Structures are given as structure tokens and as C-alpha cells.
Amino acid sequence: MSQTTSKQTTTLAGEEVPYEVSWSDDATQPRIDADIDGITVVLPAEADEDPEAILADNAGWVIEKKAKFEQYRNQVPDRAFEAGEQFPYLGADYELVIEPRQRSAVVDETIRLRRSAVEQSSVKRALRNFYRRTARAYFTERLNRYAEEMGLEYGTLQIRNQRTRWGSSSTSGTISLNWRLLMAPPEIVDYVIVHELAHLQEPTHRDSFWAIVAEYDPEYEDHRQWLEQN
């Protein structure tokens, strides 16, 4: 559980920086998250650290990330969420179709949403539900394949809506993957899956970890860079 305050503003290196503060039961130490939605200082639930002091100690990094994500934000399509728009699916743009059907699905390079699902909520929500459901099936198939190849066992798969992570793994063997990964090319999905499975064997990012990743994804550096840019 987490609680997020209203947005605040501080000044770093002469530049105004809007940010949020979030207290999280899952956080074990203070951290700064930066993504396309902005800057967030995440604190453990009982922490009393000063968010502005944390930002000031990391001013250079914060300013750099703020500029990068502002650039990305300008590239985000202005979507109306209506039939005929293009939405990414496994690295390609698919036309959105809304029609009477029993189940939303991908058909002939189109994303076809069930009309009743749209009428009960909205195009945006029905589309998100389609992504999440389809992501679970696709990610499960890829996870099982690589887990077998790598000789590893994972516990469960969770489909998450993380703001700042594509995936994560826990010591209990739970693999969490961001449903938005379904928009990325298949080789990018595979890289994230290999990355998280490798953490079950090596928790840190030491050289031995990257050696495991490289064994099953020789082009992981390119795939890692793609995620940074997208």
C-alpha cells in the first residue's frame, strides 16, 4: 500500500522541478523514481527523511532524467482512443476496431475490441484490459520456455502496472512484468524475461549476472538500450 501526496516543487540548480512524494510499505530505503509522468520521491512507510534534501543530494541526476523524459513526453502520440487509431502490439502498429464479438482479440493485424466491453466502460479501459489479458498469456508462454532452457523455476507471474519498471523478481520466485511490454517487439519482451529469470540465480548486477543474460540473449545490450530509448 502506498500514499502519494499532491505535487510539490523544489529548485535544483536554478531550475524548478515538480515532484511527488510517496510512502510505500514495500520500500526499504528512500529512492527517486523518474519516468514520463515526472519525478517521485519514494520513502518507506515510517520514514521521516526530507524529500527535498534527497532531491538536492541527487540534483544532477534528477535534472538529467527530467530533461530526458520531457523529451520523450513530447513524442507521445495525442490519442483520442477511438476506432481507426493505431496502437502498438509486439512492436508493430495495429488498427483499433470496435465490433460485436465474444472476446477482444488480435485478428489480421488489427486489435478488435468487444463492443459491449467498450460500452460498459470506455475504449481506453477495454483496450487496457485486452493488453493485460493478452500479456498474461504471451508472457507465460515465454517465461515457461526460458525457464526450461535456463534450468530455473519461478513461482508465479504477476502482471503489473509499474510506473518505473518493466519487470522485477522477488526472492520467493515471483516474476512481475509490466503489461505495457506487450507493445514492445518480441525480442525486447524476451530480454526482460531472461533478465528477471537470471535474477533468480544471481540477485545483483555483477558480471556473473550479465554472463547469464548474454548466454540466452547475446544482443542484450542493444535490447537494454532500446528500453532506455522507448
User: What's residue 1's pLDDT?
Assistant: 47
User: What's residue 34's pLDDT?
Assistant: 85
Please provide the size of the chain in residues.
Answer: 230
Cβ–Cβ contacts within 10 Å for residue 105, how many? 14
Q: From first to last of its 230 residues, what are the pLDDT tens digits of the chain? A: 455 565 799 999 999 999 999 887 777 889 998 887 789 998 888 888 999 999 999 999 999 989 888 877 776 677 889 999 999 999 999 999 999 999 999 999 999 999 999 999 999 999 999 999 999 999 999 999 999 999 999 999 999 887 668 999 988 899 999 999 999 999 999 999 999 999 999 999 999 999 999 999 999 999 999 998 88
In the chain, where do the E strands start and end?
A: 2-4, 8-12, 15-24, 31-35, 38-44, 86-89, 92-99, 105-107, 110-114, 157-160, 167-169, 175-178
